[in-house]
Amino acid sequence: MSKKYIWGAVALAVIGGGYYWYSNKSATQPVQYKTATVKKGDLTVSVAGSGQIEAVNQVDLKPVIAGDAIEVMAVYVKNDQVVKKGDMIALLDTKDAQKAVRNAQLDLSSAKNKYTQTKENDISDKYDKKAQKISVEQKENSLADAKDKLNDYYVRAPFDGIVTGLSVGVGDSVSRADVLASVITKDVQAKVSINEIDAPLVKVGNKATIKISALTDVTITGKVTKIDTIGQTAQNVVSYNAEISLDNQNELLKPGMTVSASIIIDVKQDVAIVPNSALKNKGGQSYVETLNGATPVQVSVAIGVANNVETEIVSGLKIGDKVITQTIDSSTTKAAASSGLRLPGMGSGGLH
């Protein structure tokens, strides 16, 4: 037992001596400062948004005819097929509509015959003739309406595009609520969500840079073409959608791809710039610290625009000035080291 205490005492002496030497050495080391130079350059301010690639235009094709359970007589396209404006997509059962056209044609023929047979021998005949002429015009309008309704049974492409979401086949029954297919444009755009803090800063015409998650090597530029007036709330978070047109269409882009966008809201050229880490604030006044020899000195500054990295300095500094961005205090390191000392064979209760 006596040897154990002797070795413990020796260990304490060695460690205590080493700690005393380290403490004195650390205490003599001065506080160090990292600095940055006030530079002249361009400062770009942007806000971030995330969303998806979508078609510039999409139309869901639904039957516009009255009634339910209309039978699909023919389907002329397949999914992903390229179509031109006016191309047939599907044909619905036209039996009732064609009957309505025939009846309207018969009514018109009858009205015309009656009109031609009416004589104008006296004043009453003249009034009758005028009434018959009006009847003919009414029947002509009825026939035009019947033909328009017949055209509704021919489902056509509303513009040049691509068929997607085709969900019906020959023999299916459809109603006005059913989507037969969709037609989308080949051209795509980005639709991104912006938080309510940044949304008021975004304007139509702002330039944007877009990155696609699935295409890590692809970066696309564009500009904002629309920003929502009314926000959307999800889990108590309000956001606004912005649509961004692309400067160049890329065939690799597909609707639904996830994107992140950086929307440029301001660009300042040839201004004084400092890193954000140099800026401090006290009582609402911004300031930086410069070195007078080895002593930090506070300098009040007026700041302009800022991004996540740098800030514009409007006044208070000049190009070439050095500002403190980080303070390195050796006493902090010393305190951390001392709190971590442990002796071999010792627990929280001391020597055993």
- Pick 196 or 334 by higher pLDDT: 196
pLDDT at 176: 86
Domain boundary among 216, 242, 268: 268
The answer to whether 77 and 87 have CB atoms below 8 angstroms apart is: yes
Angle at 144 between CA 176 and CA 60, to 5 degrees: 25
351 is a domain residue:
no
Helix (H) or strand (E) holding 116: helix 95-117
The whole-angstrom separation of Cα 329 and Cα 194 is 41
Number of domain units in the chain: 4
pLDDT at 351: 39
- Pick 121 or 233 by higher pLDDT: 233
* pLDDT-above-70 percentage for the chain: 82
Q: Are residues 171 and 22 in the same domain?
A: no
pLDDT at 328: 87
Q: Are residues 243 and 276 in the same domain?
A: no
- Greatest Cα pair distance in the chain: 151
pLDDT digits (tens, 9 = 90+) for 199-230: 999 999 999 999 999 998 899 999 999 999 99
| pLDDT, mean of residues 20-45 | 78
- Close Cβ partners of 246 (under 8 Å, ≥ 6 residues apart): 187, 188, 189, 190, 210, 220, 221, 222, 253
- The mean pLDDT of the chain is 86
pLDDT at 344: 38
pLDDT digits (tens, 9 = 90+) for 142-161: 999 999 999 999 999 999 99
pLDDT at 133: 87
Global pTM reads 0.68
Domain boundary among 251, 268, 285: 268
Q: Are residues 197 and 52 in the same domain?
A: yes
| pLDDT, mean of residues 237-266 | 95
Q: Residue 219: which domain range?
A: 47-56+185-268
The residues that bridge with 28 in the sheet, in sequence order, are none
Q: Are residues 144 and 198 in the same domain?
A: no
Which pLDDT band holds residue 188 (cuts at 50, 70, 90)? Answer: very high
Q: What is the DSSP string of 175-209?
A: -TT---EEEE-S-EEEEEEEETTTGGG--TT-EEE
Q: Are residues 74 and 173 in the same domain?
A: yes
pLDDT at 5: 58
pLDDT digits (tens, 9 = 90+) for 108-136: 999 888 888 877 665 566 777 788 888 99
338 is a domain residue:
no
Helix (H) or strand (E) holding 314: strand 310-315
pLDDT digits (tens, 9 = 90+) for 255-295: 999 999 999 999 999 999 999 999 999 998 999 999 998 89
**Sheet strand arrangement including 295-300:** 280-282, 285-292, 295-300
Whether 340 shows a pLDDT value over 60: the answer reads no
Q: Are residues 78 and 145 in the same domain?
A: yes
The answer to whether 310 and 273 have CB atoms below 8 angstroms apart is: yes
SS (H, E, C) 25-80: HHHHCCCEEEEEECEEEEEEEEEEEEEEEEECCEEEECCCCCCCCEEEEEECCCCC
Q: Are residues 250 and 291 in the same domain?
A: no
Which pLDDT band holds residue 28 (cuts at 50, 70, 90)? Answer: low
| pLDDT, mean of residues 217-246 | 95
66 is a domain residue:
yes
Whether 308 shows a pLDDT value over 80: the answer reads yes
Which tokens go with 112?
């015309």
Q: How many CB atoms lie within 10 A of CB 284?
A: 5
Domain CATH for 76: 2.40.50.100
107 is a domain residue:
yes
Whether 347 shows a pLDDT value over 60: the answer reads no
Instruction: Tell me which of 24-28, 250-254, 271-275 is least confident.
Output: 24-28
pLDDT at 118: 73
Domain CATH for 298: 2.40.420.20
Which pLDDT band holds residue 342 (cuts at 50, 70, 90)? Answer: very low
Which pLDDT band holds residue 17 (cuts at 50, 70, 90)? Answer: low
Q: Are residues 173 and 219 in the same domain?
A: no
Domain boundary among 217, 252, 268: 268
pLDDT at 128: 77
